Structure 1
Amino acid sequence: MSTTSETPVLDTLMAMTADSIERCGLAPDMLILSRIAALVAMDAPPVSYLAHLEPAMREHMTASQLQDVLVAIAPIVGTARVMSAAAHITEALGIAIAVAEDEAARMGGR
């Protein structure tokens, strides 16, 4: 199989996500909250949360809404998963901030 992209895995994941969004009847904010709940249940790594930051911001989601999801699913997934998710979400936010600062610095250097 030949690929014309330098990021075939990322491209595939993005295509799968886009297809899922097209086929889902949930409102965009509910879709994102559902996905975050699933990430918590799976003990997903920070990069998985990072992939959902831009869509969450685009839907004007708040930290309070995210906390509500964690509270709602805590009795189902357990304390360890919720605490792990909180740490991974915090790390994802740190990565996003670092990337944004790096991009801003490069733009300022032009």
Structure 2
Amino acid sequence: MVRSGSVANAHSSSLQRSLETFFGIGPYSRQRIMARFHLHDTMKVGDLTQTQVLDLTAHLDAMKLENHLRRQIQQDIQRLRDTGTYRGRRHAMNLPVRGQNTRSQIKTARKLNRVERH
């Protein structure tokens, strides 16, 4: 159930923040998308015209976002583990993958590199 206050916030929230809520769109991708459709940085979601919404939706549908991107990342990690590469073994052991030191602060890396084991 959606509260009426959150619907009002959806129309008044900035387009920048709204685009970056999608998994797979960061500041750089958001900036490129807004430049492609000639959208101003301070524009609100409610200020978009119907054609702008349709164009933006079509462009976002063509991109790999959310679950499709998460699934691809998991498949890439699984491929690394199956081939037995160094990075795959590091992922499997929940260790830092990109050359970080493990002598002292490793707690965050263990948390971020977690992959379910089979």
Higher relative contact order (CA 8 A, sep 6+): 1
Which structure has more helix as a fraction of its residues? 1
Output the TM-score relative to the length of structure 2: 0.27
